[in-house]
Chains A and B, each alone.
Chain A
């Protein structure tokens, strides 16, 4: 098999690529944007916060009250974080 025959064989085996009827890039961009919005950790944090049970809110409130009652202990708290 010479080079010309190989070329012919390849042309026959690979179907011709037809022209695209529309631009696919805008669709790709929309898909990337949708994935980015779904995967945003900040969005996930907000949604998990809105689904928090009431006792978690109560614990957070207790924490805030504790900090307000003993503000001088804030550096000690910060040291342990």
Chain B
């Protein structure tokens, strides 16, 4: 178990968002078909399906690389990820046409208006979620794969 630690770190990082994908896809389907939110699932799913898991894996490899140099607890390391993911997600959503910046706020999926004053609070919630997910789930998979 001492070989290929970066590969194991990547696998441990990828596991959580890959499992979350079931919840994400279910949430999108429920929002679209039960609550009639016009989500273009085939475009919206690209970011959580392709970008997020790979970024989790790479971020966990970065955590492993960083550990002997400047050790940061894994929860705080994970909480830094939304600073990359949120702008990247918004950029991709804007390019794909399902997030638009208006004078009232950001309009997601042509239906959900997020006022600008709530963006900060939403971002703080994302930091909390990522902190907990990294501390308890990614940290757990790191332990299981022997790289904690």
Counting contact residues on chain B (CB < 8 A from A), the size range is 35 or more
B16 closest partner in A (C-beta): A81
What is the interface size of chain A, counting residues whose CB is below 8 A from a CB of the partner?
A: 25
Q: How far is the CB of A73 from chain B (nearest CB, A)?
A: 6
User: A41 vs B44: C-alpha distance in the bound complex, in angstroms?
Assistant: 32
A66 near B112 with CB under 8 A, answer no
- B108: chain A residues within 8 A (beta carbon): 75-76, 79
Q: Write the A50-73 contact mask toward B (1 if CB under 8 angstroms, else 0).
A: 001000100110110011001011
Q: List chain B residues, Cβ under 8 A from A67.
A: 125
Task: Assess A41 versus B141: contact at CB under 8 Å? Given A49-B136, A63-B129, A79-B93.
Answer: yes
Q: Pull 30 A–B residue pairs with CB atoms less than 8 Å apart, ordered by A.
A: A39-B144, A41-B140, A44-B144, A45-B140, A48-B136, A49-B136, A52-B136, A56-B132, A59-B128, A60-B132, A62-B125, A63-B128, A63-B132, A66-B125, A75-B28, A76-B108, A76-B112, A77-B122, A77-B125, A78-B48, A79-B44, A79-B93, A79-B108, A80-B52, A80-B86, A80-B126, A81-B17, A81-B20, A81-B48, A81-B52
- Identify the A interface with B (CB < 8 A): 39, 41, 44-45, 48-49, 52, 56, 59-60, 62-63, 66-67, 70, 72-81
